[in-house]
Amino acid sequence: MTDTPPTKSAIGTDITLLGDEHVRRYQETDGEVGYLWNGATALLITTTGRKSGEARTIPIIYKQVGDAQVIIASKGGSPTHPAWYLNILENQHVKLQIKGEKFDAIARIAESPEREMLWAEAIKQWPAYDVYQSRTDRKIPVVILERPGGI
């Protein structure tokens, strides 16, 4: 243990576990490190690169809604969509890891009125999504991840 406090972003988010390091630690510990991130639950999603064809894994906050996992393509309110979202527009078949459980899923984009209901649920998990939406003119997509066959 060190006495150094966690690094905080401008909005108070602990950013000491990000990107590839987050993925590595999550995979090594079956989510014991990285599943809970700044008070929210995170999963690992692996998409297929739309240009490279290579597997791309990222950590992302999710909200469990029924049997599905819901993720938000916010990119912090950037005017452009995140790469993982563009990848699933090309290939909706993804791989997920939630803690130690690994499984295939199919991604689909939520449309109204389902989108608004799921957005409200996601805000309960990560209130900053509303801040992110205020930073961009694009309507931030809500993505639903479901096991094939609904199992």
For residue 84, give the CATH number of its domain. 2.30.110.10
Q: How many domains does the chain have?
A: 1
* 40 is a domain residue: yes
Residues 13 and 127: beta-carbon distance below 8 Å: no
* 2 is a domain residue: no
* 51 is a domain residue: yes
Provide the token pair at 17: 């576990």
- Torsion, Cα 117 42 87 54, to 10 degrees, reads -160
pLDDT the model gives residue 150? 61
For the four alpha carbons of 77, 83, 86 and 91, in that order, the dihedral sign comes to negative
The predicted model gives 116-137 an average pLDDT of 96
Residues 62 and 69: beta-carbon distance below 8 Å: yes
The predicted model gives 40-48 an average pLDDT of 97
Compute the mean pLDDT over every residue in the chain, rounded to the nearest whole number: 90
* 46 is a domain residue: yes
Distance CA 88, CA 9 (A): 29
* 8 is a domain residue: no
The pTM for the full model equals: 0.88
For residue 43, CA distances in Å to 24, 47, 59, 86 come to 12, 13, 6, 18
The predicted model gives 9-22 an average pLDDT of 68
Q: Given the structure tokens 């609904």, which residue do they identify?
A: 150
* 12 is a domain residue: no
* 1 is a domain residue: no
* 122 is a domain residue: yes
C-alpha closest to that of 24 among 59, 54, 68, 51: 59
Q: What does the pLDDT look like over 50-103, one tens digit per residue?
A: 999 999 999 999 999 999 999 999 999 999 999 999 999 999 999 999 999 999
Structural domain that includes position 40? 19-150
